[in-house]
C-alpha cells in the first residue's frame, strides 16, 4: 500500500465540516448583530422621546403625550414617563429578535431637561 492511500476522500468530510462551521458562525453573528441594532434603536427612541417630552413641557404641553408620539414614530412603545420638576424621564421598549432563547425585548431609558446655569 502506498503512503496516503488510506486518506483518500478525506477532503470531502473536512469541507463539509468547515462549511458547517462557517454557516454556524455566520448565523451567530447575525443574531448578535440583530440584538445590537434593536438595542441601539431602543436607546435612540428613548433619547428622542425624552427630548420631545422636555420640549413639550417647556411650552406647557403634555410631555408624556409628546414622548409617546415620538417613541411610536421611532418604532418603540413608551413604557413609562415621569416628570420631576423640569426633567422628563422615559422608558421605551422595542420589539427585538427572540432567537436563542432571548426572553424579552430591548428596553432603554433616557432623561432630558433644561441645562443648568452656564
Residue 4, pLDDT score: 56
Residue 118: the pLDDT is 44
Specify the pLDDT at position 3. 59
| CA distances, 47 to each of 40, 41, 65, 107 (Å) | 11, 10, 15, 12
Q: Report how far residue 82's alpha carbon sits from residue 113's, in angstroms, rounded to the nearest whole number.
A: 12
Given a cut of 80, is residue 99 above it in pLDDT? no
Segment 31-40, tens digit of pLDDT: 888 889 999 9
User: Are 112 and 54 within 8 A, CB to CB?
Assistant: yes
Task: Dump pLDDT digits (tens) for 81-93.
Answer: 999 999 999 999 9
Rounded to the nearest 5 degrees, what angle is found at the Cα of 112, between the Cα atoms of 70 and 41? 45
What is the pTM for the complete model shown? 0.76
Amino acid at each position: 500500500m502506498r503512503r496516503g492511500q488510506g486518506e483518500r476522500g478525506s477532503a470531502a468530510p473536512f469541507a463539509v465540516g468547515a462549511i458547517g462551521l462557517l454557516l454556524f458562525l455566520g448565523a451567530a453573528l447575525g443574531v448578535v448583530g440583530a440584538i445590537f441594532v434593536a438595542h441601539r434603536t431602543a436607546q435612540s427612541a428613548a433619547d428622542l422621546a425624552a427630548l420631545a417630552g422636555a420640549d413639550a413641557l417647556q411650552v406647557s404641553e403634555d410631555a408624556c403625550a409628546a414622548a409617546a408620539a415620538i417613541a411610536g414614530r421611532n418604532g418603540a412603545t413608551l413604557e413609562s414617563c415621569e416628570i420631576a420638576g423640569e426633567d422628563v424621564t422615559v422608558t421605551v421598549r422595542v420589539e427585538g429578535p427572540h432567537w436563542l432563547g432571548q426572553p424579552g425585548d430591548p428596553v432603554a431609558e433616557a432623561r432630558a431637561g433644561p441645562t443648568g446655569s452656564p
